[in-house]
Amino acid sequence: QVQLVESGGGLVQPGASLRLSCTASGRAYMTGAMGWFRQPPGKERELVAVFTRTGDHTIYADSVKGRFTISRDKAKNAVFLQMNSLKPGDTAVYYCAFDARIITSSLRSPSEWDYWGQGTQVTVSS
């Protein structure tokens, strides 16, 4: 079993920044795809930014390119999401996800991921 714990959400004004953190535990070797999804109110869960299983590449949603940056600390089994220039449309519950075997073509499908964090609320409002 893998446990994922997120932190860093909150209420901010448009244009502000937030940094989300996710730490994984439960396995000796945490190699695999890892990253962030979000679920806006009344909508389906969607990919925000992830590292591929090999860790060589990142995939971003078009709506966050140039504003959000994903990074990771392999030694700490952690992944981060730096969110700048936040917009009201970024309001959502943000989830950390991990999967040891997922293939690149399946990364955008939430149902293909094995492990999820509990989620952290991000609200962007004036």
Reported as a pLDDT band with limits 50, 70 and 90, residue 121 is very high
Mean pLDDT of 107-118: 93
| Separation of alpha carbons 120 and 21, rounded Å | 10
Rounded distance between C-alpha atoms, residue 47 and residue 28, angstroms: 26
Res 55 pLDDT > 80:
no
Q: Three-class SS of residue 101?
A: coil
At 113, is the pLDDT very low, low, confident or very high (cuts 50, 70, 90)?
very high
pLDDT at 18 over 90: yes
How confident is the model at residue 29, as a pLDDT? 67
pLDDT digits (tens, 9 = 90+) for 60-81: 999 999 999 999 998 888 999 9
Bridge partners (DSSP) of residue 50 are 35, 59
pLDDT, one tens digit per residue, over 25-42 is 887 667 889 999 999 999
Q: Is residue 10 within 8 Å of 83, Cβ to Cβ?
A: no
Strand partners, 60: 49
Tell me what the pLDDT averaged over the chain comes to.
Answer: 93
* Whether 23 contacts 5, CB under 8 Å: yes
- Taking the CB of residue 74, how many other CB atoms lie within 10 A of it? 12
The pLDDT assigned to 104 comes to 86
Question: How many Å apart are CA 43 and CA 3, to the nearest integer?
Answer: 25
